[in-house]
Amino acid sequence: MAVIQSSDADFASHLKSNEKVIVKYFADWCGNCKLFAPKFRRLSEDERYKDIVFMDVNAEENEQARHAGAVDNLPYFAVFKNGERIAGRAASKEESVVELLSLLQ
């Protein structure tokens, strides 16, 4: 599945309409965010995670979505189940994101 670009305008509706969601929060100036983008896209296409929606949110431009994820550093990943945040962490290692994804399986 492709990574969905989300903003404050549609963030809540994505969470409401999808049971399992992982969000990558980024900023345009964040080098680690840019480096992780291909890994995040690859994970979104992994058959193991076919029932999880992957979203990208620019943390600097989307204050409401940033607060919903409790972002404290970038890149930051948050997992939501049935619209509720269940975990999140700042990470730049794929293993950390895979651990978060396991919480949704």
Using omega within 30 degrees of 0 as the cis cutoff, is the peptide bond preceding 38 cis?
Answer: no
Q: List the beta bridge partners of residue 78.
A: 23, 88
Known active-site residue 86? no
Q: Which amino acid is at 73?
A: N
Based on the residue annotation, tell me whether 33 is a catalytic residue of this protein.
yes
Unique residue bearing structure tokens 């431009």: 61
Q: Which among 30, 43, 65, 91 is annotated as catalytic?
A: 30
Per annotation, catalytic residue among 21, 22, 33, 65: 33
Q: Are 39 and 72 in contact (CB under 8 A)?
A: no
The catalytic residues are 30, 33
